[in-house]
Amino acid sequence: MSPQSLTDDLAYVRDLAEAGQKAPLLGGRFLAWWGGLTTFAYLGHYAISTGMFGLQPVAFAALWVGYIVIGMGGMFLMQMRFSGHKPGAASVGNQVSRIVWQASGCFLGAYFTGAFLAALLGQGTGAFMWSVPMVIGLYGLAQFVSGEMAQNRVLSISGTAAIASTVPAVLLMNTPYIVLLGSAVAAISVFLPGILLMRNEPSETV
pLDDT at 8: 47
- Taking only the tens place, the pLDDT of each residue in 159-201 is 999 999 999 999 999 898 999 999 999 999 999 999 999 888 7
Domain range summary for the chain, segments of one domain joined by +? 26-82+89-200
CA 168 – CA 113 distance, rounded (Å): 26
Cβ atoms of 138 and 109 closer than 8 Å: no
Read off the pTM.
0.82
CA 76 – CA 66 distance, rounded (Å): 15
CB count within 10 Å of CB 1 equals: 6
- Letter string b/e over residues 115-147, b meaning 16 or more CB atoms within 10 A of that residue's CB: bbeebeeeeeeebbbebbbebbbbbbbbbbbbb
Q: Can you say how many angstroms the Cα of residue 103 is from the centroid of all Cα atoms in its chain?
A: 11
Residue 46, CA atoms < 13 Å, CB-side half-sphere: 17
